[in-house]
Amino acid sequence: MAQDFFEIGFDYCDPTRWYLGQPMTSAGETLPGTFRNCLPWTGEYPLNVEIKKHGIPATFSHSGFSIYIVEAKALTLLQKITDPKILQRIPVSIIGSLENYEILNVLNKIDCLDEQHSEFRRWTADNGPPERIGDYKVSLLRIDPDRASGHDLFRVKGWDIALICSGKIKRHLEEAGVTGIRFKPVVHIG
């Protein structure tokens, strides 16, 4: 039986939750997209994050550009149930909040996009920036569970916007009562 995998996304269904801005350095430089490239962060920390929309804090907060700002105790749980070398915890100071949050920087990228069952185009020299040429522009993501097997938390090579977790991670996060995220199945059933 194929292993289940899920794309982790922001839960837009709860308008009472807060929404966080982009992480920024002490000099005010924002870092859009920095934490989805699966590279370790070697810059300064803690980084600063503004609250863009006040509301109830969520365990997993999304600040755009596929960046997840996560309650520290949830990251501790993730470290216990997956290979701790695949994630980096980057401390953040949320301006106006005393809550303890960190950026989840996943360092694991897997070549597992199921081209037969996904809907996508590729960036070309005519429509994309040079660093994106050949990468996917996905409208329906499906991954190959055989190529992803043995990995619990990762980004998809060529479509690093997607943060994927195994069914095991999903179960543990749900049992821990995390808030702010939704899980979307990404394995083709047919």
Q: Tell me the pLDDT of the chain (190 aa) as tens digits.
A: 458 999 999 888 888 999 999 999 999 999 988 999 999 999 998 999 999 999 999 999 988 888 999 999 999 999 999 999 999 999 999 999 988 999 999 999 999 999 999 999 998 888 878 888 888 899 999 999 999 999 999 999 999 999 999 999 999 999 999 999 999 999 998 7
Neighbours of 130 (CB within 10 A): 7
CB 163 within 8 A of CB 43: no
> Between the CA atoms of 105, 163, 94 and 39, what dihedral angle is there, to the nearest 10 degrees?
20
d(CA 77, CA 9): 18
Q: What is the pLDDT of residue 128?
A: 74
* Angle between helix 167-175 and 72-81 (nearest 10): 140
d(CA 59, CA 20): 12
d(CA 49, CA 92): 7
CB 89 within 8 A of CB 57: no
Q: What is the pLDDT of residue 102?
A: 97
- Secondary structure letter of residue 150 according to DSSP: T
Taking the model in full, what pTM does it have? Answer: 0.93
Q: What is the pLDDT of residue 178?
A: 96
CA distances to 42, 89, 112, 124, 163 from 182, rounded to whole Å, are 30, 21, 21, 31, 11
Q: Which of 53, 44, 56, 48 is nearest to 16 (CA)?
A: 56
Q: Which of 105, 110, 106, 118 is nearest to 190 (CA)?
A: 118
Q: What is the pLDDT of residue 59?
A: 95
Q: What is the pLDDT of residue 1?
A: 47
Q: What is the pLDDT of residue 2?
A: 59
